[in-house]
């Protein structure tokens, strides 16, 4: 459906905040700074500027591709030569802008960053209503391969709806069969380029969850479910965001029950076998192109 003037206004406001947050993230992300401090400062900046985090800030370094947000006890710091992906989201009244940037602190991976950034720009240049997913994925893959790298084939862009970061439709980064872009739809486009095998796998680390609602029996699980639906609705949240008078083990058990009963899902850390760069923005599909909601070069 075509977006209403009200929803477009919310998207545009979220986009402005996201651009400011990108610039702020570049300023504060430095070698030696704790990941937890970096994430918390970016999330606070989003709130101070009139938005809310659409999901926990992801700080995925090197072979880590996505879903690394620090735990409340995380003491790790940004490394001198880290290739750091900063993935952040802003929502205003549930209207989400999702964006990311990659910072190469080593100064040795310029071509890898260029591959994902050029792939994003190439995708934006062909996107408009009626264009097939195959065409979009094709230009992304071609651009990344032309630089000598691989596309991460099992990470995709995605349809966004109000309070739904992943609204059930993937926009592949490879030329596989699929649907077409429809006018008024909102998509996050996020090419990943890698020196590795081109496929991520789940790791034994998870700090991000979301809930959908449903029945759970445990008292703590019910309390978590009610709290999250009130504060974050169906958006992803970090375990460190839960302000509850329980131990970490009790919270883990409650979250585990929610996931096991299908009332929510978990987002484990995703890693490839080599270095990974990412570029991302969010757009509204129009009849003759796209409306870019957040400048991916800020």
Respond yes or no: is residue 190 known to be catalytic.
yes
What is the DSSP-derived secondary structure letter of residue 57?
P
What is the CATH number assigned to the segment(s) 5-201+279-292?
A: 3.90.230.10
Find the helix packing angle between 110-126 and 133-146, rounded to 10°: 160
pTM for the full model? 0.96
Please tell me the predicted confidence (pLDDT) of residue 3. Answer: 67
The single residue of 19, 67, 166, 272 carrying the catalytic annotation is: 166
- Asked about 231 being catalytic, the answer comes back as no
- The full set of domain ranges for the chain reads 5-201+279-292, 208-266
Catalytic residue among 43, 63, 87, 185: 87
List the CATH code of the domain at 208-266. 1.10.10.10
280 given a catalytic annotation: yes
Q: Cα–Cα distance between 213 and 229 in angstroms, integer?
A: 7
Could you read off the pLDDT of 143-166 as tens digits, one per residue?
999 999 999 999 999 999 999 999
Residue 137 has pLDDT above 70, yes or no: yes
Give the pLDDT confidence of 102-124 residue by residue, as tens digits: 999 999 999 999 999 999 999 99
Rounded Cα gap, residues 117 and 280, in angstroms: 8
Beta-bridged to residue 97, according to DSSP, are: 90
> What are the pLDDT digits (tens) for 236-283?
999 999 999 999 999 999 999 999 999 999 999 999 999 999 999 999
Tokens representing 215? 């029945």
Catalytic option among 19, 185, 190, 272: 190
Per-residue pLDDT at 20 exceeds 50 = yes
Is 223 catalytic? The answer is no
């Amino acid at each position: 459906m075509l977006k209403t003037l009200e929803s477009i206004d919310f998207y545009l406001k979220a986009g402005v905040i996201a651009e400011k947050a990108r610039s702020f993230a570049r300023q504060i992300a430095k070698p030696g700074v704790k990941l937890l401090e970096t994430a918390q400062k970016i999330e606070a900046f989003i709130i101070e500027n009139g938005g809310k985090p659409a999901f926990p800030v992801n700080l995925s370094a090197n072979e880590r591709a996505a879903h690394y947000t620090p735990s409340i006890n995380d003491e790790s710091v940004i490394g001198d030569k880290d290739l750091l992906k900063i993935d952040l989201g802003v929502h205003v009244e549930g209207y989400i802008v999702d964006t990311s940037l990659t910072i190469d602190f080593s100064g040795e991976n310029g071509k890898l960053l260029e591959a994902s950034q050029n792939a994003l720009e190439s995708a934006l240049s062909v996107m408009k209503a009626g264009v097939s997913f195959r065409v979009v994925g094709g230009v992304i893959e071609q651009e990344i391969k032309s630089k000598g790298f691989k596309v991460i084939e099992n990470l995709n862009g995605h349809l966004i709806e109000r309070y739904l970061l992943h609204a059930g439709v993937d926009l592949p980064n490879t030329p596989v069969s699929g649907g077409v872009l429809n006018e008024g739809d909102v998509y996050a486009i996020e090419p990943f380029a890698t020196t590795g095998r081109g496929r991520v796998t789940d790791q034994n680390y998870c700090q991000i969850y979301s809930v959908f609602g449903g029945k759970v029996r445990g008292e703590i699980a019910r309390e978590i479910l009610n709290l999250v639906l009130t504060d974050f609705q169906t958006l992803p949240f970090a375990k460190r965001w839960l302000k509850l008078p329980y131990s970490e083990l009790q919270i883990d058990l409650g979250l585990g029950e929610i996931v096991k009963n299908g009332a929510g899902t978990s987002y484990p850390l995703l890693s490839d076998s080599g270095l990974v760069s990412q570029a991302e923005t969010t757009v509204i599909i129009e009849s003759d192109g796209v409306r870019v909601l957040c400048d991916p070069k800020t």
